[in-house]
Chains A and B, each alone.
Chain A
Amino acid sequence: MKDIHAKINGIPVTVAEGTNILDAARHVQIKIPTLCKHPDLPPSAACGLCIVRIKGSAKMLRACCTPLDEGMDIITNDPEIVEIRRTVIELILSNHPNDCLKCARNNDCELQKLTADFGIKEESFPQFLRELPMDTSTKAIDIDPRKCILCGRCVHVCQQAQDVWALSFLERGIKTRISPAGEIQLADSPCVRCGQCSAHCPTGAIVEQDHTAKAWEALQDPDKYCVVQIAPAVRASIGEAFGYTGRNFTKKLYTLLRRLGFKAVFDTSFAADVTIMEEASELVERLVKKTRPLPLITSCCPSWVDFMEKFHSDMIENFSSCKSPHEILGVLSKTYYSQKNNIDPAKIVMVSIMPCTSKKYEITRSNEMYASGNQDIDVVLSTRELARMIKQAGIDFESLPDEEADSILGEYAGAGVIFGSTGGVMEAALRTAYYFVTGKELDKVDFVNVRGLKGVKETEVEIAGQKIRLAIAHGLSNVEYVLHKIRLAKAEGKELPYHFVEVMACPGGCVGGGGQPYMVTDELRVKRAQALYQDDLDKTVRCSHNNPFVKKLYEDFLEKPLSEKSEHLLHTTYKARPTYRK
């Protein structure tokens, strides 16, 4: 590719051909304001703030979508440009509630920040609000269409990245709004609650449903016994709320959660190890005993489960019946743990800290989510909500001392923690499946071919002379390719393209989850994933089946993987659901 040489505000810049002016300007430390362009997404050119001009020209160009051309002499901030930007921001504010103090995005809002940057202190134009109702129907993400500035990011991620098509633009002109088609509630739409919309929203128009109050309330109730678990991906991203990227905060999180008042701090990575015991056993059963059909498809992502139930229910029999790790931890805390420690399970409040919005929905998804006799998980908080709780509690998070998690649901193998990244479940399962089939330990447990951000990864491994073909997809728009291949082979009676398929709804897997800190990019997804792979590398126990606490769990409580008790507590069922309810 050719290099482009140009000038931005008089500073020479050299970038690859095709680079837009906005990105090129960053190369020379110039920030051009924008409300609609997200570094993770293609430009929509909606807000009109990133205008720049070629020196001497009256015409203005949108920096987000205009590629830098050879010899261009770009001006990004003359007084006229700044004045237009100010006018446009003020126009946007005239169509926005501006109730920042009561907004979920207060202090973390792109519109609020720009308003401050431009020193706008008064309302130049009369305010017109669209009187539209909130949509809180999904119990996972809330839409407040009045706060929407119509940047189009949510619509793009919902339609293009996730292929869900729950959100779209309705009406036109000043009445334009985002909504599911045809005036329905989001819960009645194809929405799978992945929350990518909320993770990309620049304002408070789409936010995770805030359950911090529920958590605080439980923590202050002396009758309750509050326990907590943190998902693998949270440890690698929570630091971003405090200015650290790619750093693993596991042990500070344990300390923090105890200081917040939790009586026991568990780690979802432990339950991930248990998931592997069950899922690898399922794989081996399907491979060896051929009791159920191949390929085996992973089921630990609730958005993917919802997507499958709505759009691909012909794949139900291929789905692993294994619950997601946090549900497993939930049910174990209210059975195994409570029995061992003589605690009334009805008094236990289990809080899950997840990189995810979909898990808020999952906890009441079906009867199997009450396998312990109580609701297995009581509250789900996203990474973003936890960050707010930390700030509310006034805890100097970065300086906390390290502590360990609570036994018997806290210690994890390296395999458990890489669940947070795309390919992680696959890799963890392979480590254990190899052992289950051959009875031998792997010399080298790293399967680097399943890692990375390629949309669909296809590879194969050899276990006991048998070639096992694998596919890993992340970002729901990548699923169709994999499923199509399977269906085609089935229809033509040909050999199946895969034995084992891993799917995560969010791009990058849970590290890129819909409940994670804002402004995610691939660069950030890689950094978060690297922190998890480093955690894995640092562990002496890297395979789930070697986790002594997992062994103990089976010895003391579950007997063996896929035992009757395991099936009852750790497994679930699926059914076809309509894409549109009613």
Chain B
Amino acid sequence: MYNKTVLIKDTTTLTQEDKTRDFYVSFTNSLREQNLSDEVQVVRAADIGVYNHGIVVKILPDIVYHDVKEADIGRIVEETIKQGKVLEDLVFNKDPKQQRIVLRNCGKIDPESIDEYLAVGGYQAIKKVIFEMDADKVLDEMKKSGLRGRGGAGFPTWMKWKFTRAVPSDRKFVICNADEGDPGAYMDRSVLEGDPHSVIEGLMISAYTIGASKGYFYIRAEYPLAVERVKLALAQAYEYGLLGDNILGSNFSFDIDIRLGAGAFVCGEETALIASIEGKRGTPRPRPPYPSVKGLWDKPTAINNVETLANIAPIITRGGDWFASIGTVTSKGTKVFAVTGKVKNSGLVEVPMGITIREIVFEICGGTISGKPIKAVQTGGPSGGVIPAEFLDTPVDYENLQKLGSIMGSGGMIVMDEDDCMVDIAKFYLGFCVDESCGKCAPCRIGGFQMLHILNNIADGKGKLEDLAQLKRISFAMQKASLCALGQTAPNPVISTTRYFEDEYKEHILEKKCRSGKCARLASYTIIQEKCKKCGLCHKNCPAGAIPGSREEGYQIDQEKCIKCGQCFEICKFKAIKKE
């Protein structure tokens, strides 16, 4: 049974080709000399999450050494593995630009242990709130912090709490919105799985402040581990007297339950979420009345997102001024982004507001995998938009992203290079919203569907120039006349791509050309006769029978019959098929 695992990887290459063989042999030899072979497992990893830093050695859980030479092996085995000492000169400081508030404990403590959370100062904030502060003081501190909701809209958290607190009622509720649904975003999941107690503590503080006696976690059912960890954390909190009646001997009593979302994106919208908890069909209802006045079971209800709640305890313990010292004038603190797409180092990053997109993409995430220039960065998920390369130096905050036609959203960030087609991107996001529309209101239900139809036509080479005007017309109606944010923002990806990349749309429409080759129906495949070895593989595999010919005479692609599936292109061993 191993009790330590070491990962090694040569990060100068992106492929899985093995270049660490010698290093691996030396490392295992060194372990054998020290009689550690049975205790330490060495794994040659395919990807270690660090790029261009020579050979990287990761001693799990969290020691990462970079640019390691064979000469360093002895030291590592002797000092780090045997004695647990960290070799500062080799330590890879992954992200000097990152600052962890929300993710402060993720990966550092055992999320299934309340004791570990307590050991890093957990539940000190709620204790402080109960015994040293009153609701007004909490609101003051929250106001000073300038924290805005991380769910997407960026509404000041203290105001939401203040409104809910101000409404007189016999019962009030707080809800943690963990119905994370943006494609590619998983920060809420990571927090719930990695540090559930921090969210519980945040929810408790919000409950105390607004005067709620009952809270709910609304977690999407596709997050089973998050559900399990929150369940366990709640049980532990009850056991420790942190939940239930008379918490910590005070007169504050508070209970929390879990409700699972059945997989509808729209249930992240707060009124749909409330309907879902009440056991009704998850569709939005008109606001006003806002949930702060009439929410769950018609009682005043404050709904906060996971990431927002994870920020609360540090604000209370370290003070609103400290929090407000991070970030920009309008957007305080940090934001977790899920960076994905054509980027070398994809994953969650937590950065102070005001950092530029370029810093995130290049300095933290290592630039594009392909090395090709960035075309655009998509932020805000299906409600967001694309930010073209020329705006990469824009400092990230709520207002700036909005000015560029995108939004902060929940923090999805998808990097796209020249191989990405903007029509295709718009199609993807709009398709998501069309699938996820609850169907209640006509502009969203039918408008989105009609827009998607137009986009499909454009991508298939059947577009007309008038289509651009139609897209604009439907977009405007959806933005203005849809009931909830899903419908109001669903056209955003289309609006922003047409705003910045109208030429690409026109190319699709007028020249029937997709420069990135993404729009399969617009691609044309031809055989480069000079490279063709007449093996006949393409002929055999063409599902449309569009490649006639023989081993003797060679092969041709019949453009009339070709269905542009790309099978021949994929299958040719001699790269003799040209795709245009």
Chain A residues proximal to chain B, CB less than 8 Å: 35, 43-49, 51, 60, 62, 64-67, 80, 84-85, 87-88, 91-92, 94-95, 124-126, 128, 149-150, 152, 168-169, 171-176
Contact = CB atoms under 8 A, between A and B. Distances in A.
A43 B447 CA distance: 21
Given A51-B480, A92-B442, A43 B473 contact: no
Contacts, number: 110
B440 A87 contact: no
Interface string B94-122: 00000000000000000000000000000
A88 B439 contact: no
A2 B434 CA distance: 43
B285, B439, B446, B477, most chain A CB atoms within 10 A:
B446
B286 A174 contact: no
A47 B483 CA distance: 9
A352 to B, nearest CB: 38
Contacts of A87: 443, 447, 473-474, 476-477
Contacts of B438: 172-173, 176
A152 B440 contact: yes
Interface residues of B, number: 33
A172 B437 contact: yes
B439 A48 contact: no
B286 A91 contact: no
Nearest to A44: B440
A125 to B, nearest CB: 5
Interface of B: 264, 266, 281, 283, 285-286, 288, 434-443, 445-450, 453, 470, 473-474, 476-477, 480-483
Given A91-B446, A91-B447, A45 B476 contact: no
A21 to B, nearest CB: 12
Most buried by B among A46, A150, A152, A172: A172
Contact of B441 (A48, A85, A168): A48
Contacts of A149: 442
Given A46-B483, A169-B283, A174-B434, 19 more contacts: A44-B440, A45-B441, A46-B440, A46-B441, A48-B482, A65-B286, A80-B480, A84-B476, A87-B447, A88-B443, A88-B477, A91-B477, A124-B470, A126-B453, A171-B439, A172-B436, A172-B437, A173-B448, A174-B439
Contacts of A67: 288
Contacts of B453: 126, 128
Contact of B281 (A84, A169, A175): A169
A64 B436 CA distance: 25
A173 B435 contact: yes
Contacts of B266: 172
Contacts of A44: 440
Contacts of A126: 450, 453
B141 to A, nearest CB: 31
Nearest to B438: A172
Given A45-B285, A87-B477, A91-B450, A173 B483 contact: no
Contact of A168 (B281, B443, B450): B281
Contact of A150 (B445, B448, B476): B445
Contact of B481 (A51, A125, A169): A51
A60 B480 contact: yes
Contacts of A84: 476-477, 480-481
Nearest to B285: A45
A174 B445 contact: yes
Interface centre among B434, B437, B449, B481 (most CB of A within 10 A): B481
A45 B483 contact: yes
Contacts of B449: 95, 128, 173-174
B288 A46 contact: no
B458 to A, nearest CB: 14
Nearest to A175: B439
Nearest to B487: A48
Contacts of B446: 91-92, 94-95, 174
A62 B440 CA distance: 14
Nearest to B434: A173
A66 B286 contact: yes
Contacts of A65: 286
17 contacts: A45-B285, A45-B286, A47-B442, A48-B441, A48-B482, A60-B480, A64-B286, A84-B481, A88-B477, A91-B442, A91-B474, A95-B446, A125-B470, A128-B450, A173-B439, A174-B446, A176-B438
Contacts of A35: 442
Contact of B439 (A51, A60, A176): A176
Contacts of A64: 286
A360 B450 CA distance: 41
Contact of B442 (A48, A60, A172): A48
A128 B283 CA distance: 23
Contacts of A176: 438-440, 445
Contacts of A51: 480-481
Nearest to B287: A65
